């Protein structure tokens, strides 16, 4: 009888263990109620008791621990690469941060104002009171000089000018930027559309700037590659202007422009379909270019 009773007790305990849920505990040893977990996981359940909220946190902690590495430390979240300011060291040329200087523009990606507003602000701050801006059609450069003249209201085609970036391909090895205006790796040359840049004259002018200290064999002025021009100035082809450039590049103005009558000329304004015009004297006072016979 005693053996049968003992066997009955053991069977009852085994049955009880089969019916009882496993003893689950969270990270701090608290018992986890499976019924509560089941309720929390149902999306249509609206329960907001403190016990259920705590259980959610416990489960979240367990999930977080499952994301840890083998060394027991939680792996870092992926880092987001932020845009990096290129600064001013492209091609070794040092750009200046002052957005109101004659040559240096505002920060890249500026969205607070348009190109026209920014350049107008720069020009006004430099005393260019006669500056005018004119939007032109997209096919402006497909038109004749006479048509461009009429679009801008210029007195003649002689008053239409352009800014081009030239590079000294034979500069000494230590001349890699624009830090010395008299012996610069790059120059922006402003000439008339009706004229042709004479690179030999330009070479002789740079030679004269250095008072013979730079051998002529170390001067070979050529048109800078478009990607170099874009990077140095911050402007694309057919939109280059000496105002607000990314890099403080020395400027050479053709002496023929200083003899224009009336003394008002047009040139690029930072965008292909935007031009600016101003009096020659104001341009010279603001930009302080070298003036040379280079055409």
Neighbours of 246 (CB within 10 A): 23
Contact between 224 and 166 (Cβ < 8 Å): yes
CA distance 151 to 31: 83
What count of residues does the chain have? 295
**In the chain, which residues fall in CATH 3.90.960.10?**
91-292
Using CA atoms in the order 144, 149, 151, 152, what is the torsion angle rounded to 10 degrees? 140
CA distance 87 to 97: 9
CA distance 116 to 105: 12
Q: In what order do the strands lie in the sheet with 161-168?
A: 221-223, 161-168, 186-192, 251-254, 290-292
Helix then strand count (H, E) for the chain reads: 8, 8
The alpha-carbon radius of gyration of the chain (Å, integer) is 37
CA distance 233 to 255: 23
pLDDT reported for residue 113: 74
Contact between 210 and 173 (Cβ < 8 Å): no
Neighbours of 44 (CB within 10 A): 4
CATH topology of domain 91-292: YbaK protein (3.90.960)
CA distance 124 to 120: 6
**Global model pTM greater than 0.75:** no
Give Cβ neighbours of residue 291 (< 8 Å, ≥ 6 apart). Answer: 252, 253, 254, 255, 258, 284
Phi, psi of 79 (to 5 degrees): -85, 140
pLDDT reported for residue 133: 97
pLDDT reported for residue 70: 36
SS3 128: coil
In 3D, which of 149, 151, 164, 150 has the Cα closest to residue 196? 164
CA distance 40 to 131: 70
Task: Render pLDDT for 123-159 as a digit per residue (tens, 0 to 9).
Answer: 999 999 999 999 999 999 999 999 999 999 999 999 9
CA distance 217 to 206: 12
* pLDDT tens-place values along the chain, 295 residues long: 455 555 555 555 555 555 455 555 554 455 545 444 444 444 444 444 455 555 445 544 444 444 443 333 333 333 333 333 333 333 434 333 343 445 544 444 444 479 999 999 999 999 999 999 999 999 999 999 999 999 999 999 999 999 999 999 999 999 999 999 999 999 999 999 999 999 999 999 999 999 989 999 999 999 999 999 999 999 999 999 999 999 999 999 999 999 999 999 999 999 999 999 999 999 999 999 999 999 9
Task: Render pLDDT for 175-198 as a digit per residue (tens, 0 to 9).
Answer: 999 999 999 999 999 999 999 999
pLDDT reported for residue 50: 55
């Amino acid at each position: 009888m005693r053996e049968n009773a003992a066997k009955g007790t053991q069977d009852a305990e085994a049955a009880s263990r089969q019916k009882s849920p496993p003893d689950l505990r969270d990270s701090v040893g608290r018992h986890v109620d499976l019924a509560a977990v089941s309720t929390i996981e149902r999306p249509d359940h609206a329960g907001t008791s403190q016990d259920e909220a705590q259980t959610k946190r416990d489960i979240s902690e367990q999930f977080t621990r499952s994301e840890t590495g083998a060394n027991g430390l939680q792996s870092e979240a992926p880092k987001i690469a932020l845009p990096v300011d290129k600064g001013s060291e492209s091609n070794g040329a040092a750009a200046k941060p002052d957005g109101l200087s004659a040559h240096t523009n505002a920060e890249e990606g500026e969205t607070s104002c348009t190109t026209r507003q920014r350049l107008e602000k720069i020009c006004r701050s430099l005393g260019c009171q006669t500056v005018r801006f004119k939007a032109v059609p997209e096919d402006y450069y497909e038109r004749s000089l006479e048509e461009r003249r009429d679009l801008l209201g210029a007195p003649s085609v002689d008053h239409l000018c352009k800014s081009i970036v030239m590079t000294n391909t034979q500069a000494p090895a230590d001349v890699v930027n624009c830090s010395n205006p008299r012996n610069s790796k790059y120059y922006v040359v402003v000439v008339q559309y009706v004229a042709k840049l004479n690179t030999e004259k330009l070479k002789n002018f740079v030679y004269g700037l250095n008072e013979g200290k730079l051998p002529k064999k170390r001067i070979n002025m050529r048109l800078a590659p478009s990607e170099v021009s874009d990077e140095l100035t911050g402007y694309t082809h057919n939109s280059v202007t000496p105002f607000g450039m990314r890099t403080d590049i020395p400027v050479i103005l053709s002496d023929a422009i200083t003899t224009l009558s009336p003394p008002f000329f047009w040139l690029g304004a930072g965008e292909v379909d935007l031009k600016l015009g101003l009096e020659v004297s104001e341009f010279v006072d603001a930009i302080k270019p070298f003036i040379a016979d280079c055409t």
